[in-house]
Structure 1
Amino acid sequence: MVQRQIPQPAELLELMTFKKFDLDARRRRLGSALTIDDLRTIAKRRTPAAAFDYTDGAAEGEISMRRSEQAFEDIEFHPSILHDVSRVDTTAQILGGSSALPFGIAPTGFTRLMQTEGETAGAGAAGAAGIPFTLSTLGTTSIEDVKAANPLGRNWFQLYVMRQREVSYGLVERAAKAGYDTLFFTVDTPVGGARLRDTRNGFSIPPQLSLGTVLDALPRPWWWWDFLTTAKLEFASLSSTGGTVGELIDSAMDPTISFEDLAEIRAMWPGKLAVKGVQTVEDAKRLADLGVDAIGLSNHGGRQLDRAPVPFHLLPEVSREVGKDVEIILDTGIRSGADIVAAIALGADFTLIGRAYLYGLMAGGRAGVDRAIRILAEQVERTMKLLQVPTLQDLGPEHVTQLSRYVRLGTGHDRSVL
């Protein structure tokens, strides 16, 4: 029989230690976030619907985005055994330099709309973590101010070749002068995708007040206070070129860009050149033959062509075909460190995070970005330890199987069942 006794107060105190209450609401809020999805939940609660949906949404039926996220869930890991992983090295070599982690921050437009610290928070957090930060042509912090926020870290610049070519050429020159080491030439935006959430929300930049936006703002006064009491929201690197926000967006989407433009930019850019938005094996091979430094497998986060190829599905074949000739950077759908590890195992040299970083930004500004990076870093390290691989170089296709959800019946040129 179990013998019972009356507990002594001293014994109870040993068993029940109460967590100290943190008076800092932001630190408390971010400390409760254990995953990127947790940060998304906080971000949605704190951000007006139009701004949140601009970040969270994608094109048309959002099929590409959902498939890209699902692709990472549809994997099976195969851990090794009896390897010493008391310490693991997460350092990646990419585009002529190192990164403390196998991911960097992707270029995102209108970033200060999500939270007023915007690209400054992203660049500062990236520098502190030892990873690259990528500034968008449509960024809301200037090339020079991002450099000031991340003076010792690696800064990359994403380029839209605009209708007014001299504007793009001027941005290339400014980025080179500011010490950016890599240029991302984006090739998947001949026109803008149909982002239906934005249309339904009556989304505009800068935000226009309506009864709906006022009602949505009432429980989020902190967002509007930040927005109304800080610098005007504009495309900071384009502020001297003139034109309204809408005109600048239209100018950035040019259906006439060609391989000749790529050659022109290559000739004037002194650093590393990556081409972002590659979505076929054939284009990856052509770019490798042209001698670009890296290709970015990306469907623009599902924000351009809906039902576009899933980058993670393309990765193994692209890696087999061109992995020895050109570096491969992958984005779209990454929501955890395990996703990043899977991408590296299947042939990516590096990955970029977009929404994952923006959820952190909306949840808590610079501190929220720090938290997003830390969550992913801990997940990368833990996944590597559980797979029992001490370095990124030890990861390989033998560690990951992509499980089948879709059966491709072939392209328009090949109707055979694969």
Structure 2
Amino acid sequence: MRRQLPNPRELAPLMRFRRPELNGRRRRLNGALTIDDLRTIAKRRTPKAPFDYTDGAAEAEISLARARQAYLDIEFHPSILRDVSEVSTDRTVLGGPSVLPLAIAPTGFTRMMQTEGEIAGARAAAAFGIPFSLSTMGTASIEAVREAIPEGRAWFQLYLWRDRERSMALVERAAQSGYDTLLVTVDVPVAGARLRDKRNGMSIPPALTLGTIVNAIPRPAWWIDFLTTEPLAFASLSEWDGTVAELIDTMFDPSVTFDDLRWIREMWKGKLVVKGVQSLDDAVALTALGVDGIVLSNHGGRQLDRAPVPLQLLPSVAKEVGSDLEILLDTGIMSGADVVAAVALGARSTLIGRAYLYGLMAGGQEGVERALSILSDQITRTMRLLGVTSLDELGPQHVTLLSPYTSHHAD
């Protein structure tokens, strides 16, 4: 082989140095290419108790693992030689526009993960043209979220308390503030056994024990933010000093029935969605009750371990009730390809919880926007590779649900 010294003129076009990013947060976020990358950053920057509260699930965390595995076992069936130069990801969801088949799920204690909390999530959602859901257990008030996104879509998630008057007072505030959809969560009659939280001694607010102080040493930014901003508190309820499970078991009502939903249907004039549906029979019963939508969800695996996997339940529910109400889906969604698979199997839209919270912990509002940007790019790319140009073109023919034991087509 004949060798020669490199020609400087030939090297010049190859030397393309980028201007260094001096902003540390932006540099970290720009390097994140997947939601899992954001999770890695979040874990480095967040104390163990709040990170595990976000990341963990109930008992042996089997429900969560199965939900993730269901998405990993998806097989796509692309069509070729289609013009996919222009792709549309928008659709009408629950009577309003959504630029992506995504909404941010209601999450509790959000400012504990990162001090920008719900306001960061709401502003990022509005910037991307998708709905934001505020939890009853949120750390920003109904009114504060609405003020942060005056033009954005806001949904309110309701837990029915033992004190019905207090519950309905929240509903009235949401209506007066312009929230267009009420999500009634029905899968928390009692608290699930979240063992990571028990082992961490997680309380609200986080306690300054010897263990938490030691854990804080490599994460000073989180503690500086926590100790120098407004004290962490629930915006919709009185002060609480105890564990999350104790709070749930004290407040929430295990006697809630379909009659309570009928009562809420009469009271609420906007769109009504029931979150936490885990069987075909219940989906059919809710259709008869006249709700506008359901969320197939096992609460992110955080309640009953070994609960049904929402993605696997979706095809039968969509076939039975999909023409009567809108079906949304959550639990386990960590990529845009997951979202596309859910839409193909009959979901009108999806909800993301952990995926957005990893972004929040990684970098506040900028981190949430990075998470949404990653998901948006993945949705568009997956659609193009499947040969479709709109969400309405997606169908069961594009997806096979695989399992370790057998392969069965979605339809």
Q: Give, in angstroms, the shift of residue 299 of structure 1.
A: 0.1
Q: In the alignment, is residue 100 of structure 1 matched against residue 106 of structure 2? A: no
Q: Which residue of 1 aligns with 2:83?
A: 84
Comparing 207-216 and 294-303, the one that deviates more: 207-216
Which amino acid in 1 is paired with 2:291? V
* 2:333 aligned residue: 334
Residue 203 of structure 2 contacts residue 242 of structure 2 at CA under 8 Å; is this kept in 1?
A: no
User: Is contact 2:34–2:335 with CA below 8 Å preserved after alignment?
Assistant: yes
Task: Report the counterpart of residue 416 of structure 1 in structure 2.
Answer: none
Equivalent residue number for residue 375 of structure 1: 374
Q: Provide, for residues 160-182 of structure 1, a one-character-per-residue CA deviation record: whole Å limited to 9, x for no partner.
A: 00011111000000000000000
What is the rounded CA distance, in whole Å, between the counterparts of 1:40 and 1:135 in structure 2? Answer: 22
Aligned twin of 2:133? 134
Aligned to 2:346: 347
Partner Cα separation in structure 2 for residue 80 and residue 361 of structure 1: 36
C-alpha change, 1:391 and 1:171, in structure 2 (3 Å) is: same
Deviations 1:285-315 (A, max 9, x none): 1101111100110000000000000000000
Residues of 2 paired with 1:177 and 1:308: CA distance?
A: 36
Amino acid at match of 1:32: G
Correspondence for 1:52 = 51
Unaligned stretches of 5+ residues in structure 2 = none
Q: Does 1:10 align with 2:34?
A: no
Mapped pair 1:147 → 2:146: yes
Aligned mates of 2:363, 2:300 — CA distance in 1:
22
Map 1:353-392 to 2 at 5 A.
353-392=352-391
Task: Check the 8 A contact 1:164/1:251 in 2, yes or no.
Answer: no
Tell me, what secondary structure is at the counterpart of 1:238? coil
Q: Secondary structure of the residue that 1:254 maps to in structure 2?
A: coil
Any idea what SS the aligned residue of 1:356 has?
Answer: helix
**For residues 113 and 355 of structure 2, what CA distance do their matches in structure 1 show?**
13
Amino acid at match of 2:335: S
Give the CA deviation at 1:250: 3.3
Q: Pairwise mapping of residues 155-304 of structure 1 onto structure 2 (< 5 A)?
A: 155-239=154-238, 244=241, 248-304=247-303
- Residue by residue over 1:143-201, the C-alpha shift from the partner in whole angstroms, topping out at 9 and shown as x without a partner, is 00010111101000000000111110000000000000000011000000000000111
CA distance in 2, matches of 1:259, 1:77: 38
- How far 1:3 sits from its partner (Å)? 4.8
Letter in 1 for 2:130: I
1:297-336 CA distance string (max 9 Å, x none)? 0000000000000000000000011011110000000000
Counterparts of 2:124 and 2:41 in 1: how far apart (Å)?
19
Q: What do residues 58-113 of structure 1 show as CA deviations (whole Å, max 9, x unaligned)? A: 00000000000110011100001121100100002110011000011000000000
CA contact (8 A) 2:52 2:196 kept: yes
The 5 Å alignment of 1:304-343 reads 304-343=303-342
Distance 1:14 1:8, change over 3 A: same
| Counterpart residue identity of residue 402, structure 1 | L
CA deviation vs aligned residue, 1:3-61 (integer Å, no higher than 9, x gap)? 54321223223222222211010010000000000000000000000010000000000
Deviations 1:382-410 (A, max 9, x none): 000000100000000000000122579xx
Asked if 2 retains the 8 angstrom alpha-carbon contact of 1:234 and 1:245, the reply is no
The Cα of 1:237 is off from its aligned counterpart by 2.0
CA contact 1:141–1:235 (8 Å) conserved in 2: yes
SS at match of 2:157: strand
Instruction: Return the letter of the residue paired with 1:52.
Output: F
Aligned length: 405
Distance 2:75 2:406 in 1: 18
SS at match of 1:61: coil
Paired letter, 2:396: P
- Normalising by structure 1, what TM-score? 0.95
Paired residue type of 2:49: A
Instruction: Call closer, same or farther: CA 1:285–1:144 in 2, change over 3 Å.
Output: same
Question: What CA RMSD, in Å, does the superposition of the two structures yield over aligned residues?
Answer: 1.4
State whether residues 117 and 140 of structure 2, in contact with CA within 8 Å, keep that contact through their aligned partners in structure 1.
yes
Query: Structure 2 counterpart of 1:66, which letter?
Result: A
Seq. identity, %: 67
Does the 8 Å contact 1:135/1:156 carry over to 2? yes
The 5 A counterparts of 1:7-46 are 7-46=6-45
**CA–CA distance in 2 between the matches of 1:307 and 1:265?**
30
3-state SS of the aligned residue for 2:223? helix
Larger CA deviation: 301-310 vs 398-407? 398-407
Q: CA deviation at 1:253?
A: 2.1
Amino acid corresponding to residue 211 of structure 2 in structure 1: G
Could you tell me the TM-score, scaled by structure 2's length?
A: 0.96
